[in-house]
Amino acid sequence: MAATLRDVAEHAKVSVRTVSNVVSGYTHVSPGMRERVQLAIEELDYRPNPVARTLRTGRTGLLALVVPEIDVPYFSELARDVINAAARVGYQVMIDQTGHDHDREQDLLRGADRSMLFDGMLFAPLATEDELVDVNASQTMPLILLGEHTFDGRFDHVAIDNVQAAHDATSHLLQLGRRRIAAIGAQPKEHYATPLQRTEGFSKALNEAGLAHEPALVRTAAHYSRADGYAAAASLLTESPRPDAVFCYSDLLAMGAVRAIFDAGLRVPEDVAVIGIDDIEEGRYARPSLSTVSLDTPYIAEQAVARIAARIEDPDLPTKEIVAPHSLIARESTSGKRPE
């Protein structure tokens, strides 16, 4: 016979209400109590009845995670961390991707055709600031925005300090003595926060070093892909004099750039140093290993899930912005040395 909530409660020597709170993802349960209940759940192989839970609580136990492209390593790694964080508080995660479709983003942000399926949504939109203004916060399900958007107080927001991250990457190249530094990833015809903020940080570091931001050394990228990084770097190498370093707005762009540099008969980092942002696993094992600014996806996931769980419990919570930490990791593509 399948174990029940009461069986779990008796096994853990807690109340049925406590077990229900843990299973439902209620945040205000002490870590020790939660661990005790989860251990009892595992030992009894308790399986919550999702239909019964929905009827009892009006909740599904499901969170939605929406990203632009699931096959981009940063988003797939973030999805893994969100799934793990959600499981620890009793939620399952369904993943959707927008494929850079602005209309689809708007429909999802407004909860069109989805509002009855999920208890809350974690959303990493490409939507511009103006498009987000058009979304009525009072008409959406509990929503956490992920990524680089101006916090206007309507939605909870787990953010990355892109200006500082780009500044740190560029400063690292400057500290190595590089002075003709190029950038790949700008999107001047768009108004997305990520490239604008990373360009700002890049320019700021150059200005602090007394160097001009040379438009001829900046290349756009329609997508943050290896192919776009390759094409942009190949174009940069035709400049005279050519750059001695490249800051890429993502690790995938950087990996494409490294290949283009090698294909041109040059060396990384001796002739051209390269650094990216993201710290995807692929970059750690590439040759040369990729220097990068590491974004703490486990922290982003933990904070986002904790915040959405709290908002599901109390929809009237004041909105909050959480800025995730980042760290610079120097590897072979800038230093020529293996990291210790």
Residues in the chain: 340
Beta strand pairing status for 291-295 and 326-329?
A: antiparallel
**What span, in angstroms and rounded, lies between the C-alpha atoms of 92 and 75?**
17
Q: Total domain count for the chain? A: 3
CATH number at residue 289: 3.40.50.2300
**What span, in angstroms and rounded, lies between the C-alpha atoms of 137 and 132?**
10
35 in a structural domain: yes
Claim to verify: residue 300 and residue 288 sit in the same structural domain: no
Beta strand pairing status for 218-220 and 181-186?
A: parallel
Mean pLDDT within 190-203: 85
Claim to verify: residue 281 and residue 316 sit in the same structural domain: no
Residue 115 has pLDDT above 60, yes or no: no
Cβ contacts of residue 215 below 8 Å, gap of 6+? none
55 in a structural domain: no
Claim to verify: residue 138 and residue 196 sit in the same structural domain: no
Mean pLDDT within 187-198: 78
Residue 143 has pLDDT above 50, yes or no: yes
Residue 39 has pLDDT above 60, yes or no: yes
- What amino acid is encoded at 203 in this protein? S
Q: What is the domain extent for residue 301?
A: 60-159+296-324
Mean pLDDT within 329-337: 87
Claim to verify: residue 97 and residue 111 sit in the same structural domain: yes
Q: pTM for the complete prediction? A: 0.78
Claim to verify: residue 269 and residue 123 sit in the same structural domain: no
Claim to verify: residue 290 and residue 166 sit in the same structural domain: yes
**Both structure tokens of 16:** 């049925």
285 in a structural domain: yes
Tell me: the pLDDT tens digits for 250-300? 999 999 999 999 999 999 999 999 999 999 999 999 999 999 999 999 999
Q: Are 22 and 37 in contact (CB under 8 A)?
A: yes
Mean pLDDT within 185-198: 80
Residue-level pLDDT at 340:
40
Note the helical H segments in the chain: 5-12, 16-23, 31-44, 50-57, 73-88, 102-109, 129-133, 162-175, 193-208, 226-236, 251-263, 281-285, 297-313, 332-335
Residue bearing the bigger pLDDT, 51 or 180: 180
Residue bearing the bigger pLDDT, 285 or 57: 285
Claim to verify: residue 79 and residue 140 sit in the same structural domain: yes
Number of H helices, E strands in the chain: 14, 12
Residue bearing the bigger pLDDT, 227 or 57: 227
Helix H or strand E segment including 93:
strand 92-97
CA angle 144, 146, 152 (to 5 degrees): 70
Claim to verify: residue 139 and residue 89 sit in the same structural domain: yes
320 in a structural domain: yes
CA angle 130, 71, 110 (to 5 degrees): 35
Claim to verify: residue 142 and residue 230 sit in the same structural domain: no
pLDDT band for position 178 (cuts 50, 70, 90): very high
Mean pLDDT within 48-70: 71
Claim to verify: residue 180 and residue 152 sit in the same structural domain: no
Claim to verify: residue 191 and residue 272 sit in the same structural domain: yes
Residue-level pLDDT at 339:
43
Claim to verify: residue 69 and residue 107 sit in the same structural domain: yes
